[in-house]
Structure 1
Amino acid sequence: MPRSAQSSSPPGVDGSPSDADAGHFPASLLYAAAKLYYTEDATQAEVATQLGTSRATVSRLLAEAKRRGIVRIEVVQPAELTSGDLGDRVARALSLTTVFLSHPLPQPGPGRGIVDVMGAALAPAVGQALSGAGLLPGDVLLVSSGRTVYEVAQYDLVPLPGVLVAPTVGGNDQPEEWYQTNEITRRVANRVNGRPNYLFAPALPGPDLYPSLLKDPSIQRVLHLWPHARCALMGVGAPPLMRSDIPQFVPTRSNSLRAAVGDVCSRFYDRDGNEVDFEGSDRLIAVELEALRHVPVTIAVAVGQDKVSSIIAGARGGYFNQLVTDPATAAAILDSVEG
């Protein structure tokens, strides 16, 4: 007799319905089988014993439970794969060679801000970026001033023995240690086992002092390293007129800076990445933006919603070709570019 005609099977659980008849299983039976198997970690044989049926029927019960939505299985992408995909998308959106993502920044405790927790989170990703730069003894690594690079320099990076570490901008007259570029140079050199080279000059000397500084042999020695740099590590400044923390030499009342959305190495640029000058900037002792475009590996490190437009514009200007940031900032960059 054909199986479809066998309608007089015993009324037990294993009433021998075919796969085509599986939809006739009562929901209570599907739930019982699924709960035993998925929640209580019973084997299919154990489920069959408890329900008084066969393992084949248990298999059909579980399949039907999935089909009806009684069982919902979620496959969660590992964090490292999610971050990698996000980093790749940001790199494509900004035309960068690589984007290195840190772990998500921890929540700052009471009385603390993002600047107090970003260094530890960003340092491993910065170390990874520096490791990929292929620096050898005698190569020149330039470092900028700024709070982000300063905080990163409090933590271990990557051994780069014999690398020459030099500042990108003067600043020995600044009161905050994160704008004291010689201090940052020393810290970074210690973290990579490199050789520090100090620039004993203010970022913006007066008209009388400027020409004499350029003739000083100790200053010339550092300035002559800039064209030979193999790598640069730099922070990205937020729009200057929106910042509460900015080097003292920056004339925040300057009308020209209204167009600036960010800076690298104390050189400001607008939304399209074009340089923005200010009164006295012709005396600025800092790496030129055009020179940064010729450094083989330029690594920007920045986090925060206030840095999103600054990062995007800096990438448009071609002032860095790699970026270190956190997943939240990376997602905000994509929202801004793709939105």
Structure 2
Amino acid sequence: MDERELATVAHSYYVVGETMEAIAKRVGVSRSTVSRMLADARERGIVRITIDTPSHDSAGLDRHLAHLGVSAHVVDVREGASPLARLDAVARTAGHLVSSLMGDGDSLGIAWGTTTTAVVDRLPAKPLRDATVVQLNGAASSWTSGIAYAGDLLTRAAAAYDAHAQHFPTPAFFDAPEAKRLLWHEASVRRVLDMHRKLSVALFGVGSLSAELPSHVYTAHYLSPADLAELEAENVVGDVCTVFVREDGTYADIALNDRSSGPTPGLLRSLPRRICVVVGAAKVPALVGVLRSRAVTDLVVDRTTALALVRHLEHRPPLAVRLPG
């Protein structure tokens, strides 16, 4: 294909910020064709992707996160940028990081949410052989099947890699732990759970009730007022993959987690790469809990959130906690 055409499409996607769907509609081709054009542009050197980590932010984070085995990727976003603008910038960096880690035969697990949706919309196209995209946690509730939300997210992520999409059609939270235990014995569910344990890369955000861009799980009737009161009584600061954590990183004795469909931090710790994407200083207490649970290998944040995290950790010395079970 003509390099001028590739450069035009690449400029629309990477510089202007158009989605692949918008470009496909304007140019008159399919989304998969746009995906292949972007991949071709990278292969020919028309597009060169680098991930920049400003040293003035990463130095402070590295000092605090080194003992947790976490690498920080700080995105320099202009002061005064709106929450949505910061989310877009961080999502682009996270999308490039995810795609740089994916190869033929690899599998990517995605926990649905506001942040991961933004990342998926910015995944650079990278057609692969025998790749799989797997839903990490259920999305159904008493109000919705979750298919339109989580299913569409998974389909778009799979399209970026020409990958197979593996859905996880279970509730986000079961009504009772016994119901979860029964369904976990079903062969079709066990197959997806086994895929969770063999993922190459996991992508997730951090849920927090006080965030500027609240997690979908807190705004779409997944939790009852009684559930929220119980979490407050348990000193919960947020969640990762719909598994709730305290600021000290503990989670195993939080009763509501017995009803959650998401992978625990313990399971996440067994995976090679776990990318956590966070935007907003209000999420910092929840982020600290997730980091201390050792669920993360790569943290992608905007500069404002990074500085807030450093200040939080400096004012609250590291806790002497047991490794969460």
Fold similarity call, TM over 0.5: yes
Contact preservation (8 Å) 1:102, 1:125: yes
Q: Which residue of 2 aligns with 1:165?
A: 133
Matches within 5 A, 1:154-303: 154-159=121-126, 161=128, 162-173=130-141, 175=144, 180-207=149-176, 209-239=179-209, 246=218, 248-250=221-223, 251-254=227-230, 258-275=234-251, 277-303=253-279
C-alpha separation in 2, matches of 1:249 and 1:120: 26
Aligned residue type for 1:228: K
C-alpha separation in 1, matches of 2:59 and 2:147: 31
Q: Which residue of 1 aligns with 2:117?
A: 150
Contact preservation (8 Å) 1:254, 1:278: no
Contact preservation (8 Å) 1:119, 1:154: no
C-alpha separation in 1, matches of 2:254 and 2:148: 19
Aligned residue type for 1:99: A
1:210, distance to aligned residue in structure 2 (A):
3.3
Does 2:75 align with 1:102?
A: yes
C-alpha separation in 2, matches of 1:177 and 1:86: 38
Q: Which residue of 1 aligns with 2:289?
A: 313
* Aligned-pair Cα RMSD in Å: 3.1
TM-score of the superposition, structure 1-length normalised?
0.65
Q: Cα 1:126–1:240, aligned 2, differ >3 Å: closer, same or farther?
A: same
Q: Deviations over 1:239-264 (max 9, x none)?
A: 57996851533311215654111211
Q: Deviations over 1:51-97 (max 9, x none)?
A: xxxxxxxxxxxxxxxxxxxxxxxxxxxxx988234124313312244
Q: Which residue of 2 aligns with 1:37?
A: none
Of residues 46, 49, 54, the one that matches 1:83 is 54
Q: Cα 1:298–1:320, aligned 2, differ >3 Å: closer, same or farther?
A: same
Could you tell me which runs of 5 or more consecutive residues in structure 2 were left unpaired when the two chains were aligned.
1-50, 316-325
Q: Cα 1:275–1:100, aligned 2, differ >3 Å: closer, same or farther?
A: same
Does 2:303 align with 1:335?
A: no
Q: Percent of pairs identical after alignment?
A: 23
Number of aligned residues: 254
Q: Cα 1:290–1:175, aligned 2, differ >3 Å: closer, same or farther?
A: same
Aligned residue type for 2:282: D
Contact preservation (8 Å) 1:86, 1:331: yes
Contact preservation (8 Å) 2:90, 2:279: no
TM-score of the superposition, structure 2-length normalised?
0.68
Q: Does the residue aligned with 2:200 lie in a helix, a strand or coil?
A: strand
Q: Does the residue aligned with 2:203 lie in a helix, a strand or coil?
A: strand
Q: Does the residue aligned with 1:269 lie in a helix, a strand or coil?
A: strand
Q: Which residue of 1 aligns with 2:34?
A: none
Contact preservation (8 Å) 2:52, 2:75: no
Aligned residue type for 1:297: R
1:212, distance to aligned residue in structure 2 (A):
4.7
Aligned residue type for 1:230: S
Contact preservation (8 Å) 1:123, 1:152: yes
1:131, distance to aligned residue in structure 2 (A):
3.9
Q: Cα 1:176–1:299, aligned 2, differ >3 Å: closer, same or farther?
A: farther
Could you tell me which runs of 5 or more consecutive residues in structure 1 were left unpaired when the two chains were aligned.
1-79
Q: Does the residue aligned with 1:301 lie in a helix, a strand or coil?
A: strand
C-alpha separation in 1, matches of 2:301 and 2:284: 10
Does 2:137 align with 1:140?
A: no
Larger Rg: 1
C-alpha separation in 2, matches of 1:308 and 1:178: 30
Aligned residue type for 2:235: A
Contact preservation (8 Å) 1:143, 1:165: yes
Q: Cα 1:179–1:318, aligned 2, differ >3 Å: closer, same or farther?
A: farther
